[in-house]
Structure formats: C-alpha cells, structure tokens
Amino acid sequence: AEEVGGGDKEVVKNYFNNSGFQRWKKIYGETDDVNKVQLDIRLGHSKTVENVIKILTDEGSLKGVTVCDAGCGTGCLAIPLAKEGAVVSASDISAAMVAEAEKQAKEQLVVGNGGIAPVMPKFEVKDLESLDGKYDTMVCLDVLIHYPQSKADGMIAHLASLADKRLILSFAPKTFYYDLLKRIGELFPGPSKATRAYLHAEADVERALNKVGWKIRKRGLITTQFYFARLIEAVPA
C-alpha cells in the first residue's frame, strides 16, 4: 500500500522541495525567526552534528578522508567536514536542499589564513538508494525518520555497502519516550503539511547492520525537549 501514489519517497521529496524546505532551512539556519520548538530542535540537531564531528576527528585528522553525506539537507555536516579537510560528497533527494547547501558552502568555505581553501564538497541531487562508489565513511543523519523500518533495512544495507571503514547513522529511537510520538505528531501534522514520522527500534537497526556483516561500535543519545536521536557508529564486524 505504501507504494500507491509514488509512496513515501515521492511524498518526502515533494515535502523537502516545498514547505519542508522552508521549515528546515530555518531550523538548520541561524536566524531569529524560529519558535521555541524550532529553536529546541535546532539545538538538538547541532549537538548531533557536533557529536559526529567528534567521533570522526577522534580517530585523527580528516584531511583527505572521503565522506559521503547521504541526505545532506542544507549542509550542516558537509560544510564543517570540509573545513576539517575531508573530501565530501553530499547529496539529497531535494534539489532545493542541495541548492541551499551549495550556496552556504560557497559563503562559508573561504580561503583560510594559511591561504589554503578547503576542498569544496561535491553536491548532487540524488536519493540515497542511487548512490554508488566507495567512501571511507558514510554518514546519514536524521533521514531514516521519513521511512518505515521495512524500507530502512534496505537503506542501511545499501549505505554499509558503500563504506570502507564506517557508517554513522542517526535516527529517532522507538524505545525512548512514547509521548514524543505525540510531539512528533504535532510537528508533522498530516499529509498536507508534512510526511509521516517513523521511529526505529535500535535492535531493528542493529539487526539490519548485523545481517550485512557490520557491528555497532559506538552509541550515543542526543535529546532535548523536542529533539531526540540515537547516534551510532558501525564498522565491519
């Protein structure tokens, strides 16, 4: 039944090219025109990004490390990674998101004091199912929330198949506060305004990884009042 009328993916794509783009560009931005809930989500999400950069830089310099940011949004992760010297491929199903990410990258990735400009990420409009190639690290943050676990399994397997060393994922965990379901319901109020939100049980994500020969090495949990994400780093078992 999910595939009728194009399925989740078409709905998600349409949302993130229109009202979802406007909403999330604000949340992921720095302007003051956000409400309390949006500000709280901005804070939670920025913690997720910080955590990912910490996980990645803890292992040493990112100079020359290839990173694929699947579902890059407005470039919140791709841009700081490029600043760290990573060779970033950033893609998103939404052309509006990719255009915004590219614009921000051009503004922010300027020649540094040493006269060396960071490598500009390669931006592409692409859904993550059609990504190919091989990368040291695959990252996919806050994308799985738009897909049921039945779809997420395949996405996880595909992302892992493109990664040499590690895969970093964040998703809204099912176990945590069930009342957050309700809050999410308020944030995603129906087919006209948004897409459905799907929470994922950590055990299901872990099973999907194990099935393709990967294991979880690090787990983190980021929560604010309205934002909650399980962050995991997986490596080949």
Residues in the site for ligand SAM, rule: CB under 6 A? 9, 12, 16, 24, 28, 71-73, 76-77, 92-94, 97, 127-128, 141-143, 146
Nearer to ligand SAM, 11 or 236 (CB): 11
Distance of alpha carbon 185 from alpha carbon 85, whole angstroms: 39
Gap between the Cα atoms of 202 and 232, Å rounded: 9
Q: Is 51 or 66 the residue whose CB approaches ligand SAM more closely? A: 51
> Between 142 and 233, whose beta carbon lies closer to ligand SAM?
142
Q: Nearest distance from residue 190's CB to ligand SAM, in Å?
A: 18
Find the shortest distance in angstroms from Cβ 132 to ligand SAM.
Answer: 13
Q: Which residue is nearest to ligand SAM (CB)?
A: 73
Cβ proximity to ligand SAM: between 87 and 97 the closer is 97
Taking the complex as a whole, the smallest distance from the CB of residue 11 to ligand SAM amounts, in Å, to: 10
Nearer to ligand SAM among residue 90 and residue 209 (C-beta): 90
- CB nearer to ligand SAM: pick between 81 and 141: 141
For the bound state, the minimum distance from the C-beta of residue 97 to ligand SAM, rounded and expressed in Å, comes to 4
Determine the residue type at 115: G
In the complex, minimum distance from the CB of residue 198 to ligand SAM, in angstroms, rounded to a whole number: 12
- 133, 132, 98: which is closest to 17 by C-alpha? 98
Distances (CA, A) of 69 to 29, 124, 136: 18, 10, 11
The residue type found at 218 is K
Q: Rounded to the nearest whole angstrom, what is the least distance from the CB of residue 152 to ligand SAM in the complex?
A: 11
